[in-house]
């Protein structure tokens, strides 16, 4: 007799969702045994604690997904508004259930709706999406940060900490708390979060038996709506902690998708509504891209970049700053996690990357078919190099594709390319220690890289017998606005708790940006993406603590910071 083990958080709402899926499975398969495995994740434990007091190497591991990958459980149940676009390799959202009420709801003990709230009333929410839209509509209200699970938030309201709070209607309904709702907020006033009201079921990609058991729970319509919303969000590089909203529905036989990006001070709200006649998951995803492009044309990119640069708190409490120097598109949810853990993530990019168009690159790529090996040195090498390679006939079929680390390999995998990368260590040093890289006689190697970077790896390969050609397809420079951003922080002597640096070139640019005011910077904690970066920082006179991450990935950088 088959047993399905459901991984879930221990919060009341998460447990409701798990029990809902259990009931649906038992209705579809009466002979099935379904067990619920409750887990208290690190995220649950840290709702009111700072990162430095928590510690622990497993702090940011997704316990539910780890249990799936280790075959300790079979499925995990999630609210889709909380699920990131990229899932761990080997896992997938195989089923989405029928969508519940997607709207937000007002809960208050004294006021019937938002319109009845007096000037200066305190409204609690944890969502920048809601703040951007509702502050635009109700500029006289004060929006204050609110944390905790549903019951904790309601208790804070009952204690008098807030005049009203905003929660997802679906969560209140599922917990039997419909009587607490004073107002359902229409999508016209406040567009819902991407995936709001939809429960998704995650499982191992190769577990066909479990996927067949889950199939009766799948809602094709919800899957289409979700595809449109998540495609829009992915194209905008949004997440749960940025002011992005998306809501799809059927209207007059077409998919209608509305998207929103807004400033958290309420001064600007960008919106786009588009219709699609291809009512399928693929058609919905294309529609999501159309809406995202329209929002970007209106200036959404600038708004989101500003959100990542500025403190992400809803209140004015001074919090320790963590400088994030990586390009915005590679930050993932790092800023959102730091914000939730009582830090003030501040984005000061140290690299501006532009494509290089010159005759030398063209001549190299015209020889594509002659290479036995193609090495990508970074995620930028992937993003700028692959389109150029495609213009010249694509990756050589006989070539071995390699990446200097797991992050670069992951980026290649997203483009459908399975690359070799070192099992241990990181960077060119680790790649050159791989057995198959010791004798390179007869090899013709193409290195895809930027104009600034390391020259010695190519020289070392030549010493080992390879003919090495380099395609310098992108140019790194200092972002013009970063100097002002950094000096505003240094001039005000704001507390800097940490600085995340992912590459040596980024470190060089950061020191250059700081100039004569580098003392405060050099005394803070450096989170270095490699030993080479740490060594270079010491040469620059870094006096603060230096934590070296296992790799420059966002996850490993966060783990190093938590030590």
How far, in Å, CA of 86 to CA of 406, rounded? 15
* Closest by CA position to 415, among listed 374, 387, 456: 387
The yes-or-no answer on residue 82 being catalytic is: yes
In whole angstroms, give the CA distance from residue 50 to residue 127.
19
Beta-strand ranges (E) seen in 66-197 are 75-79, 91-96, 104-107, 122-125, 142-145, 164-168, 181-185
Task: Show the tokens assigned to 95.
Answer: 């089923």
Q: How far apart are CA 201 and CA 78, in angstroms?
A: 6
Cα dihedral across residues 15, 164, 110, 162: positive or negative: positive
Helix (H) or strand (E) holding 324: strand 321-324
In the set 35, 82, 158, 369, the catalytic residue is 82
Consecutive H or E run containing 409: helix 406-414
Within 10 A of 475 (CB to CB), how many other CB atoms are there? 16
What length does the chain have? 563
**Cα(523)–Cα(270) distance, integer angstroms:** 41
Residue 533: other Cβ atoms inside 10 A: 23
* Burial (CB count <10 Å: 0-12, 13-18, 19+), residue 491: exposed
Which residues 6+ apart lie within 8 Å of 490 measured at CB?
Answer: 514, 517, 520, 521
Q: In Å, what is the CA distance from 291 to each residue of 122, 195, 445, 533?
A: 33, 16, 41, 40
Tokens standing for residue 131: 């703040």
- How far apart CA 210 and CA 204 sit, in angstroms, is 9
End-to-end CA distance of the chain: 45
Give whole-number Cα distances, 96 to 201, 206, 352, 488, in Å.
Answer: 6, 18, 39, 46
Q: Largest Cα–Cα distance of the chain, in whole Å? A: 80
Active-site residue set: 82
């Amino acid at each position: 007799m088959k047993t399905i083990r459901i991984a879930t958080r221990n919060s009341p709402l998460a447990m409701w969702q798990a029990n809902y899926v259990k009931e649906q499975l038992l209705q579809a398969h009466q002979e099935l045994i379904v067990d619920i495995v409750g887990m208290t994740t690190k995220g649950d434990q840290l709702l009111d604690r700072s990162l430095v007091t928590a510690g622990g190497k497993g702090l940011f591991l997704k316990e539910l997904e780890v249990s799936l990958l280790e075959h300790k459980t079979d499925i995990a149940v999630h609210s889709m508004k909380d699920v990131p676009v990229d899932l761990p390799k080997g896992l997938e959202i195989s089923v989405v259930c029928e969508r519940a009420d997607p709207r937000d709801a007002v809960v208050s003990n004294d006021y019937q709706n938002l319109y009845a709230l007096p000037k200066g009333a305190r409204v609690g929410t944890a969502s920048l999406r809601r703040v951007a839209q509702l502050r635009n509509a109700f500029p006289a209200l004060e929006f204050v940060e609110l944390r905790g699970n549903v019951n904790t938030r309601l208790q804070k309201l009952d204690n008098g900490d807030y005049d009203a709070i905003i929660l997802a209607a679906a969560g209140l309904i599922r917990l039997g708390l419909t009587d607490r709702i004073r107002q359902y907020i229409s999508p016209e006033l406040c567009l819902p979060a991407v995936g709001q009201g939809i429960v998704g079921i995650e499982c191992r990609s190769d577990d066909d038996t479990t996927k067949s058991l889950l199939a009766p729970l799948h809602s094709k319509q919800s899957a289409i709506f979700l595809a449109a919303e998540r495609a829009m969000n992915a194209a905008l590089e949004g997440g749960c902690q940025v002011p992005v909203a998306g809501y799809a529905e059927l209207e007059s036989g077409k998919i209608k998708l509305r998207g929103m990006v807004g400033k958290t001070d309420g001064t600007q709200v960008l919106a786009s509504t588009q219709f699609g006649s291809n009512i399928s998951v693929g058609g919905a995803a294309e529609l999501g891209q159309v809406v995202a492009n329209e929002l970007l044309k209106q200036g959404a990119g600038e708004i989101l970049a500003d959100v990542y640069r500025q403190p992400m708190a809803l209140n004015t409490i001074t919090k320790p700053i963590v400088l994030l120097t990586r390009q915005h598109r590679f930050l993932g949810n790092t800023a959102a996690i730091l914000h939730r853990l009582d830090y003030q993530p501040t984005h000061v990019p140290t690299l501006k990357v532009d494509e290089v168009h010159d005759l030398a690159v063209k001549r190299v790529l015209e020889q594509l078919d002659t290479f036995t090996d193609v090495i990508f040195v970074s995620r930028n090498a992937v993003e700028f190099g692959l389109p150029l390679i495609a213009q010249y006939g694509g990756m050589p079929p006989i070539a071995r594709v390699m990446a200097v680390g797991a992050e670069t390999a992951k980026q290649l995998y997203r483009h459908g390319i399975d690359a070799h990368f070192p099992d241990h260590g990181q960077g060119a040093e680790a790649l050159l220690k791989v057995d198959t890289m010791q004798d390179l006689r007869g090899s013709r190697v193409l290195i895809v890289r930027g104009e600034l970077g390391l020259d010695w790896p190519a020289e070392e390969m030549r010493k080992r017998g390879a003919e090495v050609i380099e395609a310098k397809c992108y140019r790194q420079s200092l972002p013009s606005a970063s100097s002002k951003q950094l000096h505003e922080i240094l001039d005000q002597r704001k507390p800097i708790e940490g600085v995340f640096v992912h590459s040596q070139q980024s470190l060089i640019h950061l020191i250059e940006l700081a100039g004569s005011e580098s003392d405060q910077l050099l005394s803070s904690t450096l989170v270095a993406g490699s030993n080479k970066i740490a060594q270079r920082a010491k040469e620059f006179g870094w006096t603060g603590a230096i934590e070296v991450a296992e790799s420059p990935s966002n996850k490993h950088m966060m783990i190093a910071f938590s030590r």
